[in-house]
Amino acid sequence: MARTINQATLLGHLGGDAEFRHLPSGEAVASLRLATSRSYRRDDGEWAEETDWHDVVVWKADRLEKHRERLQKGDPVHVTGRLRTRRWEDRDGHKRQRTEVSCFAGDVILLAPAAGESRADAAAEGSADDSQPPEGGDDDVPY
């Protein structure tokens, strides 16, 4: 069987506050509505913007639930997950489907600052890079 990849990476803004619910097991699940936009030049030379809306389901969201203040409408969020299409039949017998990004709490990076934190601090927390040599240069690196 051939290998396949199903991965979606989104960087956008929340279209509403995160919604949390709990499964019978007690596990928290979050629903996010994420907007991503792109700018493009129309045929008449004017700039236009197009926005896409994405449904995101976050499993094992207990950690995120503690940071509700950073998951409100307009807050920036980075999500990595897989696309999943659910199909069902509604009460009237109509077939429905929804494609959403499915991920775990560890796949969500909150970019909005926490209370008392600046935007620069929040961005640094979400993008720490341990692959760089330590301060002081390359002299301490044994290769």
Picking from 115, 116, 100, 103, the residue whose alpha carbon sits closest to that of residue 66 is 115
Q: Is residue 51 part of a domain?
A: yes
Residue 4 counted as domain residue: no
Is residue 136 assigned to a domain?
no
**pTM of the entire structure?**
0.74
The pLDDT profile of the chain, 143 residues, written as one tens digit per residue, is 789 999 999 999 999 999 999 999 999 999 999 999 999 999 999 999 999 999 999 999 999 999 999 999 999 999 999 999 999 999 999 999 999 999 999 999 999 888 766 655 555 554 433 333 344 444 444 43
Q: Tokens at residue 40, please?
A: 């493009």
In a domain, 34, yes or no: yes
71/18 Cα distance (integer angstroms): 6
Considering the domain boundaries, does residue 121 fall inside one? no
Domain-embedded: residue 104 = yes
DSSP state of 119: H
Q: What are the angstrom distances between the C-alpha of 28 and each of 9, 18, 22, 59?
A: 22, 12, 5, 7
Expressed as residue numbers, the domain containing 67 is 10-113
52 in a structural domain: yes
Tokens 């390359």 correspond to what residue? 138
Number of domains forming the structure of the chain: 1
CATH of residue 30's domain is 2.40.50.140
Contact, 79 vs 123, CB < 8 A? no
Q: How far apart are CA 76 and CA 83, in angstroms?
A: 20
